[in-house]
Amino acid sequence: MPLLRLENITKDYAGDGEPVRALNAVSLDVEAGEFVALMGKSGCGKSTLLNLAGAMDFPTSGRVLLDGEDTSSLGDAGLTRLRREKVGFVFQSFQLLNTLTVLENVALPLLLSGRRDAGAALEKLRLVGLEDYGARYPHQLSGGQMQRAGIARALVHEPRLLLADEPTGNLDTATGEAVLEVLSRVAKERGAAILMATHSLESAAITDRVVRMRDGRIEGIDRH
């Protein structure tokens, strides 16, 4: 059983008149430890797919199975539990809270799930090379450092699935490469699957598979 299975997924959004179909009959399996890139133009359905995979939304039809659990069968509490235990998110615009220190930002998923494990947050900061920056606030970091802090936060609760939406989109090439290197290393070391939406061929080049999307459908899959 793959870690993530999307079975014939369709997702419609309410438009002004007719519903807008964001995903159309998408099926995809992602194995544990695998690094998969989603490529395609803006609006092709990459982010929608990530949200469905991350138990943030329900498909209109089809099934999303995360570590064997059908997200459609879960209520709000169930989805929250699934995210807390199994999913980590990395965002294009980092999404760190300015009112918290870097260490507190990283520890936030643990705190939200009622765990207090400062050691785990520090360890993840060390993993991304920010162990000396824990007491700083996000605005005192560079873009690359902020994204590394974002990755540390996504990993702090040891998720099985890491979802990254354009993680290098706001970074220069060198910093972007460094961030991708961290992501790739983590996937391998931790055995976590990574599903990354990206426009960048360079970014996609370091992944195990590239899923090409167009108009809400999977156009093709390339293996490296």
Q: Which residues bind other proteins (CB under 8 A)?
A: 47, 51, 54, 56-57, 76-77, 80, 83-84, 89, 91, 93, 95, 97-100, 104, 108-109, 111-114, 153, 157
Q: Between 145 and 178, whose beta carbon lies closer to other proteins?
A: 145
Minimum distance from CB of 63 to other proteins (Å)? 19
Name residue, tokens 């930002």.
105
Query: Is the separation of the CB atoms in 218 and 39 below 8 Å?
Result: no
Minimum distance from CB of 76 to other proteins (Å)? 6
Minimum distance from CB of 118 to other proteins (Å)? 12
Q: Between 17 and 75, whose beta carbon lies closer to other proteins?
A: 75
Q: Between 75 and 119, whose beta carbon lies closer to other proteins?
A: 75
Minimum distance from CB of 222 to other proteins (Å)? 27
The edge-to-edge listing of strands for the beta sheet with 61-66 is 20-30, 4-13, 61-66, 69-70
